[in-house]
Structure 1
Amino acid sequence: MLTVIALGKAQDQARSYMCCKTSNPINIDGVLSDSEWGDINWSEYFVDIEGDKKPLPAYKTNVKMAWDEDYFYVAAELEEPHVWAKLKQRDTVIFYDNDFEVFIDPQGDNHRYYEFEMNAFNTIWDLMLAKPYRDGAPAINAWDIKGLKSATAIYGTINDSSDKDEKWTLEIAFPWEVLKECAPEQRKPKNGEQWRVNFSRVNWDVKADQGTYLKCIDPETGNPFPEHNWVWSPQGVIAMHQPETWGYVQFSTTKSGEGSDVFKMDEDYSLKMELIRLYNKQKQYYKDKACFEKELKSPFAIQVEVTKKQFLIYAKGKSGKTWYIDHESKIWSE
């Protein structure tokens, strides 16, 4: 059963999805057949990455998720009148094309997470990050998802501007054998556990040119107009690499179409967002004064510990857990 949350600002509450076990084998061919996906709920439609600060996307996008003993499955439908792609080399920067992206943080601590991108050619880029770019981490491009399965289906003609296309769809099977590397206790999820997940769609403005497509150029800069970023769970800013605002995916052993389950809301979400606010405040303070603040104002009963180069901020949440954030934006509880 999909739990729908009223959409507000990114910091109010992230989106959520109940991911059930699939009742049917899923053949990864890009076609979202009813026999495979018919009893699995769609997510809400994507919104602009900045949330309600910006208008709704021009084209609809939504996803489905499921799992079995071997894979975490993702399917997506991307409405698109101009299906095009250029990149065919694996591990190139796929978002220079229109693309679809998956972000997975198994432990929900902002560290050691996965990024996956693909275009309409099914050209992929898979990488791991030890921590967000904001904290100085490089992307680990040599990391590959061994055993990955992915495919696309085009409803129209790719790279042909002489006609109007309908959409492109995709299917991905992420093997648990790889995803468990950064998961709690290095295993697949247990019933009721939640991972932080988000999806992004990059879409460029294009124009027809001799039967194919070219990106629209800004006459003032001579460069392509900035891409559109449409996401499942809004980030509030143009930045995908802030895992704290990704959605919540709860895994259920209930088979899809055979019952329902109750989604567990994160009752400490507002505290986590406050810790992120204070983290950003400390980073700015250090940039201005080359030291961290020892006292911070907050509606929560926070504690602060600082050294010359590091800080730790923590407080007890409604759940009874004490949540911590450090100078590299890692969030964890005890």
Structure 2
Amino acid sequence: MASVVTSFDPYAWYPRQYVAQRVTQHLVIDGDVEKEAWRSVPWSDAFGDIQGKDGPSPADIPLTAFKALYDDTHLYICAVLHPKDGLPTEAHFTERNQPIYQKDSDFEVFIQVGYPNEDGSGTTWNHDYKELEINAINTPWNLLMDKPYWDGGQEHSGRVASDPADPLYYEVYHQETATRVLSGQLNHPTHGALWTVEMKLAFSDLWVQKSDTTTPTHQPSLSVPWRINFSRVEKQGAINWTWQPQYRWDPQQNQFRGFVDMHLPDAWGYLSFDQPIIDSTWPAQLAAMCIYYAQRHHQEANGEFTKDVNILILPPHIMDDFRVDIQLGDPDHYVASIVDATGNVHVQIRQDRRLTIVTNRTSAIDQQ
């Protein structure tokens, strides 16, 4: 007899977390990951297949891991990428802001910080996140995604626009990167290389949104964990090893499973500063994202979104601890509000994946 699910534990799906330590000494960015500043800093969990347990066996995945530090103005990241027999380490792009992964072995960083809404209603996530790709000869590609590709997002970068006045232009101004090849050989047909990367990422660059390429309006808060993920790409994307597997709810198969898609910012890990921080809004966020994926599936099957949460394909019992209200706009828009039993946690999700952690609670569902 099949077992009956009687409860749902959202923390079973809580992402990995890495705690960045504060650094007080000056770091020279030169690709040396064994310098004094890094020696006492713990390595992250080793990277695995992007699909996690739903991907190929991890037995033959070479070691890839990162470390992180921070100070008042910058986030520092270093990583080591070990070779694999029979896998070349490709490094051909030499011009900045070229699509590194399409040809070269590639280390990628994805970061999103929460943006305060213009109306002061809360903090927005899943939009305006940053991506940095780099190859073994220190050629970087920086881009800003206004939202994920699946939601109609566009790349903003120096690759797609050269004029700073162009709405699709994006560049960083206070970033430093360096790489080192420690052993092996680049671009050998059968042998790879052991290489390292070191990065200095300015908070001011990470906080800029697409409408302002030079001066951020706020400094990112370090008291709230950021979302972050890392990816190692080989063979033009045929291989993708990541720190945090990209798990999400799949209503078509009625289960959580791994996907080959780095542009799922809701599935990234957490980066906290100085000490671990558990995001108390996580259960509501997870419920909101399950509604988002279920609504997409419902619209694809029926041609419209629904305001009835009971007909959506959702994990059993995930809504037991929440009040849910779905307001429909025109046929292509909705806003779903998820409020916990205490009324202290309120999360909203839209059809374009824009998630808001509401702090100024004036909606009807808060007053029920």
Question: TM-score, normalised to structure 2's length?
Answer: 0.75
Stretches of 4+ aligned residues off by more than 4 angstroms:
162-166, 182-185
Change (3 A) 1:271 1:95: same
* Equivalent-residue separation in structure 2 for 1:165 and 1:329 (angstroms): 39
Aligned to 1:248: 270
Change (3 A) 1:76 1:318: farther
Q: Deviations over 1:159-211 (max 9, x none)?
A: 35389555100001011221222599620433x3211111010022xxxxxxx
Q: Which runs of 5+ in 2 are unaligned?
A: 1-9, 115-123, 158-168, 210-214, 247-257, 359-368
Aligned to 2:105: 98
Q: CA deviation at 1:317?
A: 3.6
SS of structure 2 residue aligned to 1:200:
strand
Change (3 A) 1:200 1:175: same
Aligned to 1:229: 240
Matched, 1:238 2:257: no
1:186 to 215, 218, 238: 218
SS of structure 2 residue aligned to 1:186:
coil
SS of structure 1 residue aligned to 2:125:
coil
Instruction: Tell me the C-alpha RMSD between the 2 structures.
Output: 2.4
Q: Deviations over 1:118-164 (max 9, x none)?
A: 01111111010111111101111231111210010001243353895
Matched, 1:131 2:137: no
- Once the two structures are superposed, the pairs formed by residues 49-198 of structure 1 within 5 Å of their partners are 49-54=50-55, 55-56=57-58, 58-81=61-84, 82-96=88-102, 97-107=104-114, 109-141=125-157, 142-159=169-186, 161=188, 167-182=194-209, 186-190=218-222, 192-198=223-229
Residue identity opposite 1:129 in structure 2: M
Contact 2:186 2:193 in 1 (8 A): no
Change (3 A) 1:302 1:167: same
Q: Which runs of 5+ in 1 are unaligned?
A: 1-8, 205-223, 253-260
Contact 1:267 1:318 in 2 (8 A): no
Aligned to 2:349: 325
Contact 2:325 2:338 in 1 (8 A): yes
